[in-house]
């Protein structure tokens, strides 16, 4: 006999704004139940409630302990769980609200109040003992998002957007077929639709692409999600106006633990002294010079004084092409450093700023020059002497493990 399909559905505060919204959400959940799907519901606080509770707590006393604040602001999710369970029960669905005080509460965290981290092994044990039997009996658990409980029994919160993390942790522990995040938009857009008229929904994203978008401010997912999402757990983002299995954005895969990759061939660094970053036409001419020489730009950074490009190509031909900007007085000088290796480091939970500092210190400590460093969210890149690249890779891997 085939096992029942299980999905975890999360409703955010922007979706749960009034009684009608709760009824609509409950109807969507009921439709899945009638199709024989096992459903676990995760809910956020109603729109604005968390901020309201936080404001009241701070008005009472600006010195309110953080653990007390977590307990207070988590009440918004308890309210939503009871409202959603009530809506489902009113439609004949066997729903049960799961709050931090429930015997079957699943989310166990450390005691980093305000930004707690789930303890996956404890969550898995709690889900196996409490939540999973409910689903197997055909009941619909409605779980408070955002909140957790420490091993000592203290209430914690997972940080802003933490209900997404709750849903993914539950999906992971239940070996769910899918996590469905219900939003007030039809998925992840190519740009903010409020600012770009031609923005359109993106049908599919890798976890890494979604992580990059989130790190740049796109309202995709809470970035903590990517620390806990397994590769075989797809995340579907759908609109509140459609069914739970409707079109939207599918996010596949997971972030690598930590990876150190070396570009396939030696590269060089092109240095242009002068301000071209603020002159799009000059910047275009530089990239055209690289392309005309049959090269490929791998990285770029600069300020009002100089610009550096990492290039795979012919150094001499590219240098001569770039020198035309000196002749047109767009820059003062050009030079290049040859025989370099380009290293890219990325991974989930990577503190790029801290790790690149450690890596650079370790490399320079053994005499490996590092003429280029670039840092992003969960990634960084380095240039090192090509003849010492194997040694450099081992040093970087060692600093990541340390």
Rounded distance between C-alpha atoms, residue 268 and residue 286, angstroms: 15
Asked whether residue 248 is assigned to any structural domain, the reply reads yes
Task: Indicate whether 402 pLDDT > 70.
Answer: no
Asked whether residue 1 is assigned to any structural domain, the reply reads no
Rounded distance between C-alpha atoms, residue 157 and residue 109, angstroms: 9
The answer on 53 and 147 residing in a single domain is: yes
Contact predicate 135/89, CB 8 Å: no
Q: Hey, which residues does 95 pair with through a beta bridge?
A: 140
Rg of the chain (C-alpha set): 26
pLDDT digits (tens, 9 = 90+) for 293-307: 899 999 999 888 899
The answer on 233 and 124 residing in a single domain is: yes
pLDDT digits (tens, 9 = 90+) for 6-46: 999 999 988 998 999 999 999 999 999 999 999 999 999 99
The answer on 274 and 226 residing in a single domain is: no
Q: Which of 252, 287, 317 is at the close of a domain?
A: 252
pTM: 0.84
The CATH number of the domain holding residue 230 is 3.40.1160.10
Q: Which of 252, 279, 302 is at the close of a domain?
A: 252
Alpha helices (H) along 175-234: 207-215, 225-228
The answer on 209 and 344 residing in a single domain is: no
Q: What average pLDDT score do residues 165-175 get?
A: 97
Closest of 179, 195, 274 to residue 234, by C-alpha: 179
The answer on 113 and 238 residing in a single domain is: yes
Give the chain's end-to-end CA distance (angstroms, integer): 47
pLDDT digits (tens, 9 = 90+) for 268-298: 999 999 888 788 888 888 899 899 989 999 9
The count of residues in the chain is 402
The range of the structural domain enclosing residue 387 comes to 259-401
């Amino acid at each position: 006999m085939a096992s029942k399909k299980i999905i975890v559905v999360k409703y955010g505060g922007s979706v749960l704004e009034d009684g009608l919204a709760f009824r609509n959400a409950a109807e969507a959940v009921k439709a899945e139940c009638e199709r024989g799907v096992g459903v676990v519901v995760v809910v956020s606080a109603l729109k604005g409630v968390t901020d309201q509770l936080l404001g009241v707590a701070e008005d009472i006393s600006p010195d309110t302990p953080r653990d007390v604040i977590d307990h207070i602001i988590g009440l918004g999710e308890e309210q939503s769980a009871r409202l959603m369970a009530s809506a489902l029960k009113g439609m004949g669905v066997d729903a049960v609200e799961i709050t931090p005080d429930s015997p079957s509460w699943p989310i166990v965290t450390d005691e980093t109040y305000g930004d707690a981290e789930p303890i996956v092994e404890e969550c898995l044990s709690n889900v196996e003992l409490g939540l999973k039997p409910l689903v197997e009996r055909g009941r619909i658990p409605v779980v408070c998002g955002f909140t957790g409980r420490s091993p000592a029994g203290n209430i914690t919160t997972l940080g802003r957007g933490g209900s997404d993390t709750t849903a993914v942790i539950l999906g992971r522990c239940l070996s769910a077929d899918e996590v469905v995040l219900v939003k007030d938009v039809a998925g992840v857009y190519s740009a903010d639709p409020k600012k770009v008229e031609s923005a359109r929904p993106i049908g599919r994203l890798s976890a890494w692409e979604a992580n990059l978008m989130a790190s740049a401010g796109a309202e995709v997912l809470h970035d903590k999600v990517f620390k806990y999402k397994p590769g075989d757990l797809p995340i579907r983002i759908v609109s509140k106006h459609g069914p739970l299995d409707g079109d939207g954005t599918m996010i596949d895969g997971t972030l690598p633990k930590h990876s150190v990759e070396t570009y396939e061939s030696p590269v060089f660094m092109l240095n242009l002294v002068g301000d071209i970053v603020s002159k799009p036409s000059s910047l275009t001419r530089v990239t055209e010079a690289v392309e005309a020489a049959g090269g490929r730009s791998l990285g770029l950074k600069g300020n009002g004084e100089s610009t550096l490009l990492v290039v795979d190509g012919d150094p001499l031909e590219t240098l001569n092409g770039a020198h035309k900007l000196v002749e047109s007085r767009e820059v003062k000088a050009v030079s290049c450093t040859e025989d370099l290796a380009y290293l890219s480091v990325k991974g989930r939970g990577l503190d790029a700023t801290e790790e690149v500092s450690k890596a650079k210190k370790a490399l320079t400590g053994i005499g490996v020059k590092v003429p280029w460093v670039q840092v992003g969210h969960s990634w960084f890149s380095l240039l090192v002497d090509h003849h010492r690249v194997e040694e450099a890779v081992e040093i970087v891997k060692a600093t990541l493990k340390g």
